[in-house]
Amino acid sequence: MTLEDVLEEAELKMMKSVEVVKNEFASIRTGKASPALVDNVMVDYYGTKTRLRDLAGISAPGVRLLVIQPWDPGALEAVEKAVLSANIGLNPINDGKIIRIPIPEMSEERRRDMVRVIKNISEEGRVSIRNVRRDANHELESLYKSGTLPEDEKFRALKEVQEKTNEYITEIDTLLKEKEEELLRI
């Protein structure tokens, strides 16, 4: 593995950690209807676990309403059951053709709980980025010990890895701040 490979791989992994945090944040309910709330709900579709977004069209025609229209009308009950059992605090209404999900206003206590959840998610993201940094630093040290990387290059690369680490952790902190403000806004 070369120096460039180590740096490139570390940055890619850090980007993926930030993407995971973004995706997790999208599935956190803020009191507004968003298809991301139910996108990844797993439906038992004829014995196969399938993501809801692969089975149905999901839309948010209003601020407080989600509409799910399965492509196979026979899947309505399975979709309804999956949304209920997903423990996301939503109660679907099945009218025989589509499923409507009214999004209730969140209580202050529920908002505070959600803030704790997003803080945990962001901390997991930061830990993931630090683990990438640790692995990259270990790889750089190995390259140095094997004689393929001069000492001055090793220190430059270690500094670059730390700068990338700081950059991506700052990005997660920014995402956390925005999501926290969104959750606490009434």
CATH of the domain at 140: 1.10.132.20
- Helix runs in the chain, H state only: 3-26, 76-85, 108-145, 151-184
Specify whether 73 is located in the same domain as 117.
no
Our count of domains for the chain comes to: 2
pLDDT of residue 158: 95
Q: Which structure tokens are listed for 165?
A: 């680490």
Specify whether 9 is located in the same domain as 70.
no
Model pLDDT for residues 58-93, shown as the tens digit of each residue: 998 988 889 999 998 888 999 999 988 877 778 899
Model pLDDT for residues 36-46, shown as the tens digit of each residue: 888 878 899 88
Specify whether 52 is located in the same domain as 92.
yes
pLDDT of residue 111: 84
Residues of the chain with pLDDT under 70: 29, 186
CA–CA dist 94, 72 (Å, integer): 14
pLDDT of residue 186: 61
- Write the CA distances from 11 to 31, 132, 165, integer angstroms: 34, 9, 8
Domain stop point among 80, 102, 124: 102
Specify whether 113 is located in the same domain as 178.
yes
Domain stop point among 74, 102, 130: 102
The residue segments making up the domain with residue 97 are 35-102
Predicted TM-score (pTM) of this structure: 0.72
CATH number reported for the structural domain that contains residue 80 in this entry? 3.30.1360.40
Q: Which structure tokens are listed for 43?
A: 């439906």
Specify whether 22 is located in the same domain as 111.
yes
CA–CA dist 131, 125 (Å, integer): 10
Specify whether 180 is located in the same domain as 134.
yes
pLDDT of residue 1: 81
Contact (CB, 8 A) for 57 and 71: yes
CA–CA dist 81, 86 (Å, integer): 9
Which residue, 27, 41, 24, 34, is CA-closest to 60? Answer: 34
pLDDT of residue 91: 86
